[in-house]
Amino acid sequence: MPRQRQTLPNFAAFFDLAKSKVLAVQEFTLLGLRAFRNVFGRPRYLADTLIQMDVIGVGSLPIIVLTGFFTGAVLALQTSKTLQTFGEVTLTGQVVALSLVRELGPVLTALMVAGRNASGMASEIGSMLVSEQIDAMRALGTDPSKKLVTPRLVATVSMLPLLTIISDFVGVTGGFMVSFFIIRMDPVQYWTTAYQSLHFEDVFQGMIKPFIFGYIVAMVGCYFGLTTRGGTQGVGRSTTQAVVAASVLILTTDFFITKLLLALLG
């Protein structure tokens, strides 16, 4: 029967695709577990970790400062306009601080670092893979997960929270600039409402996320680098896939963390 002949290959193709996706999740998880376990084992590549901290932390600082500042500024512009309708412009500082610390600071910082560093990790490791440098490393007695993945994981997980703090502060400052120079708000009022609106659970929520996002950025970048196939074209593909996957995972995970933390902390 022609219909049956048509259906069977389609089903086989779907089954193969599903199998490959499940395998990818399994490999990603195992790589993550191995990289995490390596943190407590030897050898420790301290020099590599410090280099990655410099690349990820110091290297990302300019874009984090810029995006943080203008996010805070535009947030102040937009919210003051809305709050004006209700005669509550004085709450601008509160809205800017809460939005940035709880949500926008961690997410935008993670997205910026993903765009800059997950792609960098995927292309660097991918290039090493296609030029057989990873095989050479293994041949010379080095575990690539210890030498390449764990330093990037440690560096991203430790740098992202610091970058988020900077982004939050610069963002609130951006909001202040707009409030003071454009909306003509009293500076003391802005800073007082911004400061007083922040409670432990807001800061906790905003600071727990960068650790999880840092793990996602590093692991996705390294995973796509280590699974690169097909020469230089494959490196380009891995780089794009790493940025897309890391961004989607950050936004998806953010929803579930927020839901969980709201349920736990209120």
Partner 1 sequence: MTEARPDQTVLEFEHVYLVLDDKPVLRDVSFRLVRAETKVILGASSSGKSVLLKTALGLFRPDSGRVAVFGRDITGLREEELYPIRQRIGMVFQEGALFDSMTVYGNVAYVFQEDRALPAEEEEERVRRALRFVGLEEAIEKLPSELSGGMRRRVAIARAFVGQPALMLYDSPTAGLDPLTAQSIITLIVKLGDLEDVSGLVVTHRLQDAGVIADYFYDPESEGLLPAHSNGRDYDTKTSVLVLREGQVVFDGARDEMFRARDAYIRRFIG
Give the x/- contact pattern for partner 1 in 43-82, rule: CB under 8 A.
Answer: x---------------------------------------
CB of 136 to partner 1, least distance (A): 4
Q: What residues from 7 to 46 belong to the interface with partner 1 (CB under 8 A)? A: 43
Closest of 157, 138, 158, 139 to residue 148, by C-alpha: 138
Q: Please choose, out of 55-63, 88-96, 139-147, 218-226, the segment that lies near partner 1 by the rule CB under 8 A.
A: 139-147
CB of 120 to partner 1, least distance (A): 13
Q: What residues from 173 to 212 belong to the interface with partner 1 (CB under 8 A)? A: none
Q: Where are the alpha helices (DSSP H) in the chain?
A: 2-38, 46-53, 59-85, 92-99, 105-113, 119-130, 133-139, 144, 150-181, 187-197, 200-226, 231-265
Given the complex with partner 1, which of 43 and 187 has the nearer CB atom? 43
Contact flag: residue 138 with partner 1 (CB under 8 A): yes
Contact flag: residue 237 with partner 1 (CB under 8 A): no
Q: Please choose, out of 58-66, 128-136, 176-184, 186-194, the segment that lies near partner 1 by the rule CB under 8 A.
A: 128-136
Contact flag: residue 142 with partner 1 (CB under 8 A): yes
**Cis preceding linkage at 210, omega within 30:** no
Full 3-state SS string of 52-115: HHHHHHHHHHHHHHHHHHHHHHHHHHHHHHHHHHCCCHHHHHHHHHHHHHHHHHHHHHHHHHHH
Amino acid at 204: F
CB of 143 to partner 1, least distance (A): 7
Amino acid at 129: L
Q: Which of 18, 23, 136, 248 binds partner 1 (CB under 8 A)?
A: 136
Which two tokens mark 81? 């306009």
Contact flag: residue 133 with partner 1 (CB under 8 A): yes
Q: Which of 7, 26, 29, 131 binds partner 1 (CB under 8 A)?
A: 131
CA–CA gap between residue 148 and residue 232 (Å, rounded): 20
Size of residue set near partner 1 by CB under 8 A:
13
Q: Which residues bind partner 1 (CB under 8 A)?
A: 43, 131-133, 135-143
